[in-house]
Amino acid sequence: MRFLVRLFAVIGLLAVLLVGGLVGLWLMLRPDAKPLPDGLVLSFDFQKSLAEAAPDDPIAGLLSGKQPTLVEVVTAIDRAAADPRVVGLVGTVGDSGGKGFAMTQELRDAIQRFRAAGKFTIAHAETFGELGSGMQGYYLATAFEQVWMQPMGDVSTTGLRAELPFLRGTLDKLNVVPQFEKRYEYKTFAEQYTNSEPSPANKEATESLIGDLFEQWVAGVAAARNLPVEAVRAAVDRAPLLDDEAVEAKLVDKLAYADEALDAAKAKGAKGNDTPVLDLLEYGSAARAEPTSAPPADAPKVALIVGSGPIMRGEGEVDPLSGESTFGAETVAEHFQAAIDDKDVRAILFRVDSPGGSAVASAVVGRMVDRARAAGKPVVISMGPVAASGGYWVSMKADRIVAQPGTITGSIGVVGGKMVTKGLTDWAGLNFVAIERGKNAGMWSSNNGFSPSQTERLNAFMDSTYDAFTRGVADGRKLPVEKVREIAKGRVYTGRQAKEIGLVDALGGYQTALAQVRELIGVAADAKVNLVPFPQPKGPIENLMDLMSGDTRAEAGRAVSALVAADLLAEIRPVIAPLAPYIRARSMDETVLLMPPLLVE
């Protein structure tokens, strides 16, 4: 058996070396990049799922493949807007690609800046929905000058809907008793386990959230399509709209196929049908490699650090089921320390996309924000689709907080507890005999409920954490603690609502956040900055080299396994990803600062 293990380890190592050698040979023999032509038209499939950052773990990098990041796409669009060689952009739209409301707004802003530079834009969709919601896909499409759709497509802009899951009935059937404490009434994360329907506070907050997001959608579509708000509302209430109905309602400009949209885009270029068309990210890579694209030597260096996913203690990980990353506090803290130690870094742009998680882990990252500021390096938060609960904790002490109008934020509160499964195990005939020392030794056991002394300790933890959270917000946001406690209570807000009550400084995305950075470091509003990801993203070759540098057979085996798994997961991930939240286990310390579950369609 030992011989077989060694044999397979050697085979794995040879396979990795062979793959690395072949890729290295290809890199040496490939032709040099050609200069970009004039009259260039760009194309991009905006239906692709976008990551907030490239994974820095080699295995995660191989598993995720080359998934584009939001900042790559936005940067490429902005670069193209200022490039006289680029005349237009044709985008494939329709499906949301799992983007949150705020990410869609970030892309819309970038496309509108591109249009403002005098470039043409055409969006083409096969359909907006087809037996599903087309709200996000159509919302993005309206940022383009023209919206084209394939004949037989439909515009399924049927509205926004929040579905709140409640499992109490199921738990009752299983004889499982949920025991949770919270601070306060709007911190409704545990209601999915403790209730059969939403509490009045839960319903009030969700109504407000969905109502504001819907108003943003209607106003954005109406302005982009030059339609009265009432006409857009009427179209939503009529939807799904058939292809001719969508044209009649002025939601779609033309019915045509994808090849016809591409031909029309080419015709707008100087060379007609011979106009060169290049993928947006390929353009971005080629333009970035040009000597003239390098920032000036005196451009301020700004570190870009991304914290994405549920906040956990330890290192960040990638869930192979969903492809989603975790916000590892240790990993993010290391990135902060590297930026603090880099004498050339003038400021830190911290991108936060997280529904929350561990209070302890959130405090670790919050401490690094304090240390960066103490080192004379301002920290500006750019909130992604979600920056709530623990995601707000890590943001609250920053110099400035920027969010999109549709960012989900706030949820300043705490919840904790456990599931008591004794009824289920008794029914199944499973008996546990406890031998313990210490009055509260069984506090976190699922085989018994909280005793009075344990309940007192849990509530002391709730009060302490909530007090630290609200006082931290008051200190960071320069607000009276009484006002913070009034607007906190675990309530979730949109970015637009959060700005109105002082939890956010400005509305926008990366460009707005960088404007805040420039102001804080005292440079001109149009000064170029050198935005550098911390850590620098690695390509497939670097990931393979990192794995091989471990000098162990196990690392070689992991590399081969990762390459095989990447192909397999690419096929099955779309099927199993929706199940991941239900089958991924989380410990107690990862759920105390989480926003309530919310599925918005």
For the annotated catalytic residues, the residue numbers are 187, 389
Is residue 323 a contact partner of residue 355, using CB atoms and an 8 Å limit?
no
Counting DSSP H helices and E strands in the chain, the numbers are: 23, 24
Q: What is the DSSP string of 378-432?
A: -EEEEEEEEEETHHHHTTTTSSEEEE-TT-EEE---EEEEEEE-HHHHHHHT---
Cα(338)–Cα(377) distance, rounded to whole angstroms?
12
Structure tokens at 584: 């991924």
Helix (H) or strand (E) holding 530: strand 530-533
Contact 102, 407 (CB under 8 A): yes
Q: Is 478 helix (H, G, I), strand (E, B) or coil?
A: coil
Q: How far apart are CA 59 and CA 55, in angstroms?
A: 9
Please count the other Cβ atoms lying within 10 Å of the Cβ belonging to residue 96.
Answer: 24
Give bridge partners of residue 381 from the DSSP assignment: 350, 401
266 vs 438: CA distance, rounded Å: 76
**Nearest Cα residue to 284 out of 77, 76, 91:** 76
Nearest to 306 by CA among 508, 71, 66: 71
CB 199, CB 188: distance < 8 Å: yes
Residue whose tokens read 């969903």? 322
Single-letter residue type at 200: P
Encoded tokens for 221: 């579509």
3-state secondary structure (DSSP) of residue 585: coil
Which tokens in the block code for residue 254? Answer: 């033309």
- Coil, helix or strand at residue 594: strand
Length of the chain: 601
Q: How far apart (Å, rounded) are the C-alpha atoms in residues 90 and 487?
A: 43
